[in-house]
Amino acid sequence: MRAAAAVLLVVALVAVAGEDVQVTPRAFATWQVFEADKLAAIWLIRKYINPVAAILVCPRGEAVDTAVMFDTPESQFKRTFNKTTFQALREHFRVKDPKLDNISRIVHDIEINTWGQKAYAATPAVNRRVLEIIEHAGSDTASMRMGCQLFDSLYDALPDTLAPGR
């Protein structure tokens, strides 16, 4: 009975408030194979969007109806020619933190600026660490844990302004 009342309250609030109300998803899902953008997106979900959300890692091509898909070709939150999944999630969930701008720049530099000279001096070291995680983690759970540790450390260590690359 209480659950039904809570659902009705949420529906009423959404109807009254219109598009400005955002329901925070309880579960997110992505496909296997980790890279910088996906690890950064998982960290963003865990740190800012919903720390208790389930994050499911599925075989490539599998869709999960009970979770919000991210970093897959058909998902709302995906990498495009000029935006990372991390940036798409930040924009949608309105995650405002100036230090995240620097992480966005580094992830963009790794994932979008793939062939050009890196724009920021920190990018190659972050990319090397991501590749080490992917190679040595041994499981999806370990990859996510290590990725979150990396981005926690990066957040703490980054200056307010990134040094340009060489």
% residues pLDDT > 70 (the chain): 86
Task: Name the residue among 104, 112, 117, 94 with its Cα closest to residue 21.
Answer: 94
Q: Give mean pLDDT, residues 100-114.
A: 93
Spatial neighbors of 47 by CB under 8 A, at least 6 apart, are 148, 151, 152
Q: Which pLDDT does position 117 carry in this prediction? A: 83
Query: Would you say residue 3 has pLDDT above 90?
Result: no
pLDDT of res. 14: 39
Chain segment 49-97, per-residue pLDDT in tens: 999 999 999 999 998 899 999 999 999 999 999 999 999 999 999 999 9
For residues 51 and 22, the answer to whether their CB atoms sit within 8 Å is no
- Please give the pLDDT value at position 48: 97
Residue written as tokens 């058909």?
74
Confidence of residue 159 (pLDDT cuts 50, 70, 90): confident
**Secondary structure string (H, E, C) spanning the chain:** CHHHHHHHHHHHHHHHHHHHCCCCCCEEEEECCCCHHHHHHHHHHHHHHCCCCEEEEECCCCCCCCCEEECCCCCCECCCCCCCHHHHHHHHCCCCCHHHHHHHHHHHHHHCCCCCCCCECCHHHHHHHHHHHHHHCCCHHHHHHHHHHHHHHHHHHCCCCCCECC
Does 162 or 46 have the greater pLDDT score? 46
What does the pLDDT read at residue 166? 61
Of 117 and 17, more confident:
117
